[in-house]
Every structure is written in structure tokens, then in C-alpha cells.
Amino acid sequence: MATRSTSSSTSEPASTRPPPPFVEVAPSVYEIPTSYRSDMRVPARIFASPETLPGLLADHSVEQLVNVTTLPGIVGAACGMPDMHEGYGFPVGGVAATALPDGVISPGGIGFDINCGVRLLVSNLEHKAIAARVEGLVHELSRSVPSGAGRGGRWSFAGKKLDRILEGGAGALVREHEVGTASDLEAIESGGALEGADASAVSERARQRGADQLGTLGSGNHFLEVQVVDEVFDEGAAGRLGLVVGRVAVLVHSGSRGLGHQVCTDHVRLMDGVMQRYGIHVPDRQLACAPLSSPEGQQYFAAMCAAANFGFANRQLIAHLVRDVFRRMFGERDGFLRLIYDVGHNTAKIEKYEGKKVCVHRKGATRAFGPGSRDVPAAYRDIGQPVFIPGSMGTSSFVCVGTEHGSEASFGSTCHGAGRQMSRTAAKKKVTGQALRKELEGRGIVIRCASNAELAEEAPAAYKDVDRVVDVVAAAGIARKVARLRPLGVVKG
């Protein structure tokens, strides 16, 4: 959700202030020093190249990142990823850590689609062996996985069943409904459930909105994509992940649907009403926040963790539906899909840096822990946590792994995609869905999207160049390239 910020932190309008001074502090790393504005508590750190940096000034994202530096309790730097663009309060692609216990937590720093995330599954199938069946495969996937705004699924969870999912995440589906296996949980961030979730902190309205939405993609930039491993950059890491050139894979991008959106809406309003009580003044009301140690902060954190668990469960159920299609079409052995990893990019988590506990807000930014971290699955601990950076329809996606350097440079974070460079309205003015559909199909990419308008909103031209974005990530040392995946077919809401 990208709502323009209109308020300013000084009496001087944003349009009349001089452009921020970007100081290159390391390769592909720039900082705006605290001298730029009197209310800045820490620098604003941006990961970019000389070619991509000017594009970040096309919207209000840099100004929003500077606003983030003013939050009470913020430490280190407010970080902007190379896919950064304007969002609600925080820019999408923003990372900020606040010191416990009294540093603030801000719903705008997590976003409305709590635990929107990406899951990658790899098959035993070679593309050349099933090339003639890709169109039928994408068609079956579009029939089996509900997509679209407000669309419900074939399952409905309410009462205690929903409580157990909100508090147990993907594991509740595995244990109680045999959706997936225990081995899946080892390949999901935080084992598929965030600690601290409390179902009672989730409003009745949020529960109603999410009751029938598990196992659904939603709309907007959410997708299910059939891909082929196109190129490998790191043979050792790719081999560990099971990525072989020519192998067919599936990438799923979805989140907590209406439930997560309502949790954010509920708590933005709540925090906006209590900031004065805590003596908090922010340059933009979209940065509404409260101390994490406060009753309001604790209530939001418990509800946010519950919504995140709903997001993990949603992707677990989507994967179950995808696996069923592959088994029906290709058999138990050839159609088997192994989960490589599942990682969210709209969460706040309690982590430790330099011996101190902090609350790390990642909005449109993914966790990217390096080798040796105990939070990385044992099978990947020597190579680092898998990271997925999708492109847009028609462009490649990348598999990377986290680095030790990222821990000090970006609170163990990297970007979550290519990042928008054009609004949805502008995209629809420039591209028609019908023409885009023909263009992609002419390139051999099967498209299933009921709405041409929704298709146009997600046109490749609306996004930054994913190759440049990933090159910045690699040059800055906050993730390492492993493989590139090429799209064969896309299902969108």
C-alpha cells in the first residue's frame, strides 16, 4: 500500500529543501549524515549504485527514510534497499532497528500485508522433458489455487482452529491437518511460526476477513510462477539447494491477506491515539508508533506475530495445492516438490546485534543471515540463509544467500524484489493488459490472470531492473548470487 506522505519534519517545505547529501561510505553504500536534518537520530543508509541512486529521488522514498531516522530508540542507521520505493510511512525496502525495551515499534515499518513472503519449491523435472505440458500445468495451477482480491479458498478456519493457526503457524497445518511434512518446517524462517503470537490480540474483524483466505494468492503483486533454473553463479551453494540448470521450480509470493491488513489498520489507529501520551512526536503521522514495552506496543507485537503465522500457514497451504497438481500431472516421484526455503519480508523481529536486543523492522526487505547463524537451517548453515529476489512478470528471479557482512551493514537484511518504479495507475496508462498478455505469450510465458487491468498494473515496465538491483546487493556484500530462474508461466490475481 503506497500512500504519499504529505507532512514535513521542519517548517521548510520538502520541495524547497536542498537535496540530501549522499556520501559514499563503501562500494554501493551511501549515507545521508545526521547533519542533514536536526531531528535525525542516526544516518540514513542507502544501498545503490551511481546508476540506480538518481532513480530513488523520483518519489518520496528517500524523504521517508530520513523520517524513519527520527524514531525514538532507533540505532545504527535506517537502511534503504536498492529496490526502495514510496510506501506508507516507511518506504518499501526500509529496515530499522530500535533498542529494547523502550524503543518504538511502528506498524508502518512492517506494512499492511504482514509476512508477505516468498517460498521456493524445486522439482525433479527437467524443463525440456515437460515443455509441451507447461501450458496445461499453469492452467491446472490457476484452477487449483484461488487468486484475486477478496477471493476465499476451499477451507474455512474459525474459532479454536483459527486460534491454533494464529499461534502455531505452518506447524499447526502440518500437525493437525497433514498439510505438508515436518521437514517443511525446517525450511521455513523461524520454523514457520513467530514466538510471541497471541490470537486474542487479533480483532474479530481481522478474524472474519481471514477466515476463508488460507490457501489463496490474493491480488496485486502476488503470484505463483513456474520457473526453470537458467544459470548458476555458485555451483557449491546451488548444489546444496538442489538447483540444477534446466530444473523446474515454483515460486510462491503471498502473505496474510485481509487478516494482516486489518491487524495493521487496527493498530495504526491505536498508536496514533497514544503517541502524545508517551511524548512521541513524528514528522509523519503514518509513522505512528509506541514503545515496544508499552501495553499498546505489546498488543501490536502479539497481533503482528499472529498475522505473520497466518502468512506462513497461507503459503504452506498454497504449496500443498501446488504439490497436488504436480503429483496428479507427473506422478509421485517426478512430481515431487521439495521446499527449499520460505522467508517473509514484512515483519518485526527481536534479534541481537553487538550484544544488544533490538526490534528489527523489515518492510519490503527480507532477512538474509550469513553462514554460521543458528537461525539458518542446519542444512544451509555453512552457506548462509537462502534469499529470493523475484523480478516482475517476464523477467528473471534470483536465488541468493546471506552474508556475515550483512549483519553489520544492514541488520542481516537485503531486498525483496525489483521494486516498483511506476505507480499502478501510471502502468495502466502506459500498458494495456491485452497487449502485455500477447507480448509475454509471444516470449513463451504462459499467463493466467482474469483481469487485464490487474495484469497491466504489474507490467515489467512498472518495476526496476532486477539485474541491476541484484548487482547492487552483491556489490554491497549483503547477499551473494547463487542462481537465476527464468519464468515459464505465471498465475496472478
| 293 assigned binding-site residue | no
416 annotated active-site:
yes
Task: Find out whether 192 is annotated in a ligand binding site.
Answer: no
The three three-digit cell numbers of residue 136, written as one number = 496445461
**Which pLDDT score is estimated for 307?**
98
Given this model, what pLDDT does residue 76 score? 97
CA distance 386 to 187: 10
Q: What are phi and psi of 278, to 5 degrees?
A: -95, 5
Q: Report pTM.
A: 0.93
pLDDT at 91: 97
Whether 451 and 433 have beta carbons less than 8 Å apart is answered as yes
392 is known to lie in a ligand binding site: yes
Q: Is 261 annotated as a binding residue?
A: no
First to last CA, the chain: 16
How far is Cα 428 from Cα 451, in angstroms, rounded to an integer? 12
117: Cβ contacts below 8 Å, ≥ 6 apart = 189, 253, 254, 255, 311, 312, 315, 342, 343, 344, 345, 346, 366
In 3D space, the residue among 265, 367, 250, 360 whose CA is nearest the CA of residue 307 turns out to be 265
- Does 417 belong to an annotated binding site? yes
CA–CA separation, 353 and 360 (whole Å): 10
Catalytic residue among 85, 127, 267, 416: 416
166 is in an annotated binding site: no
Identity at 277, one-letter amino acid code: R
Domains delineated in the chain: 14-421+463-492 (3.90.1860.10)
- Say whether 223 counts as a known binding-site residue: yes
- Residue 404 known to bind ligand: no
Any binding-site annotation on 391?
A: yes
Q: Is 390 flagged in the annotation as binding?
A: yes
Ranges of residues in the chain whose predicted pLDDT is under 70? 1-17, 148, 150-153
Say what the pLDDT of residue 168 is.
98
Is 361 part of any known ligand binding site? Answer: no
452 annotated as belonging to a binding site for a ligand: no
